[in-house]
Amino acid sequence: EYDSLDGEPATLFFMIAAPDGANNTHIETLARLSQLLLDDDFKVALENAATADEVVDIINKAEAEKFSGEEKKEEAAETGNSQVSEDKPYIIAATACPTGIAHTYMAAEALKKAADEMGVKIKVETNGADGRKDVLTEDDIKKAKGVILAINRNIEVNRFNGKPLIQVEAKEGINNAKGLIQKVLDGQAPIFHASGSSEASEGSSSEKKGLYKHLLSGVSYMLPLVISGGILIALAFLVDTITGHANAGGGFGSTSYLAKLFMTVGKAAFGLFLPILGGYIAYSISERAALTPGLVAGLLASTPLVENGPVSGFIGALIGGFLAGYVVKFLVWAFKGLPKALNGLKMILFYPVFSVLITGSIMWLVINPIATQLNVWMNNGLGSMQGASAVLLGALLGGMMALDMGGPINKVAYVFGTGTLATTMTTGGSFSMAAVMAGGMVPPIAIAMASQLFKNKFTAQEREAGLTNYIMGLSFITEGAIPYAAADPTRVIPASVIGSAIAGALVGLFQIKIPAPHGGILVMALSNNFFLYLVSILLGSLVAAVILGILRKKVTE
């Protein structure tokens, strides 16, 4: 079970080996492979292959037939793009997904295949991890009967102003390519009217996500900095402890040369996370023009109002990012009446200067004083939590991580835990983050345990797949439990929530802290009590496994 698009178990597995320094080779390989796998004959041939040489021959042959043909088509398009066949309808499309690897190219291939079967000429622009390919020109847009956007992330759409346009998620582009093309041919695509900004968002489907979507955008860019910086800072303390400098007082973590190196680099990375959080929340709201004021807002959130005083931190950067994004939206509206001759000055002069001035002033005069006080109260409250209050908060955060496994509630708990690291990093991290990680590790481990302890309650396939959840759980990948939760939500989710809440409560009881927001067992050694942390997670997992085993019915194979 790999949570595939069609819900069916996976039968083909690929491993990619790339030479050193070939940074994009695996992306290009995945892109090509995802397109080839849309051909049923290709899949059947691979499944029936008896030897390794036969597999290689099948792939080489399919790749040569498909991509050499596409290169010829591209050459023909470049030399005779103006000669669009008059007897065939011409449609254009663009695809994009968050990772820019699989769905981007699968949707493009599905649209091309459907168009070919329907006798329709189509050009598809892919916005993948390796950049934009087959970029739609002004001439393409002008001649097209309509536009199909199969996207899950921001791309430039104002260029399609005045064209019939259908916008869906990349997944629908894969599953319903013919239906989308038919809608355009039947004139059912609404006319698209561009907004004032040069870059537009993912569209109507993503707008429904609102603030949540913008917040997650900022968090996704912020996380690598928190993870890398947090782990390096923790390693600095670990190195000084190992080298006998644990009693170095204020110099602890920077006494030995190696510790100082880790601390310096770690602080540099960690110091960027608030500006990046604010910048990319703003970017998600109003695109490129909002990035500058968002970065400034995040930097101001890490700047104390008085020397060596407290800062507004995570709360300030979060609010500042939203402020910057909507300030730019206001400026786009305010400047829309300017002569077209001044359009070039908007992005390079008007938007940056006015957005930074307005956002920065509001941050410094209004948001920072309020958010700083909130930050102080929150940190004091968390720092003073002992006994029952810490147990309750740990249980709440742990349970939230298992309630929807990767959904909004899970993300709220995770963002809260990550936010507490902003001011607790130099003291070993926070128990809130430790409770969040423990709660997220329990569901996959519990399923793995249950599948082995209660073998008569799981099919052979579920038992075999369940073993991989040990790795998923120990790596803090909660999503490993999703296929089981989706298939049996009334039993898996309650059991997981109870187990995760117990693990989180134990973390609060033992006051276990961790300085890294991700990594699972790989970073647990950085906690202040590895043994009790592991015991908390295993006890929570065992309770969840037993509950799940009791609730599930016996299966007959």
Residues catalogued as catalytic: 97
Query: Nearest to residue 229, comparing CAs of 441, 473, 429, 417?
Result: 429
Identify the burial level of 479 via C-beta atoms within 10 angstroms of its C-beta, where 0-12 means exposed, 13-18 middle and 19 or more buried.
Answer: middle
**Which amino acid makes up residue 429?**
G
How large is the greatest C-alpha to C-alpha distance in the chain, in angstroms? Answer: 82
Report d(CA 330, CA 323) in Å as an integer.
Answer: 10
- Over the Cα atoms of the chain, what is R_g? 27
Query: Nearest to residue 97, comparing CAs of 110, 106, 89, 85?
Result: 106
Query: Nearest to residue 445, comparing CAs of 525, 397, 500, 386?
Result: 500
Query: Nearest to residue 297, comparing CAs of 211, 357, 384, 378?
Result: 357
From residue 546, alpha-carbon distances to 200, 453, 481, 502, 543 in Å are 49, 8, 16, 13, 5
Query: Nearest to residue 507, comparing CAs of 412, 448, 431?
Result: 431
What residues form DSSP beta bridges with 147?
92, 165
Query: Nearest to residue 292, comparing CAs of 244, 375, 355?
Result: 355
What residues form DSSP beta bridges with 164?
191
Beta strands in 361-419 (DSSP E): none
Report d(CA 433, CA 428) in Å as an integer.
Answer: 11
Q: In this structure, what are the phi and psi dihedrals at residue 19, rounded to the nearest 5 degrees?
A: -70, 155
Q: Which residues have a Cβ under 8 Å from the Cβ of 314 and sit 6 or more positions away?
A: 274, 277, 301, 375, 418, 419, 420, 422
Q: In this structure, what are the phi and psi dihedrals at residue 149, rounded to the nearest 5 degrees?
A: -110, 115
Helix (H) or strand (E) holding 126: strand 121-128
Report d(CA 433, CA 222) in Å as an integer.
Answer: 16
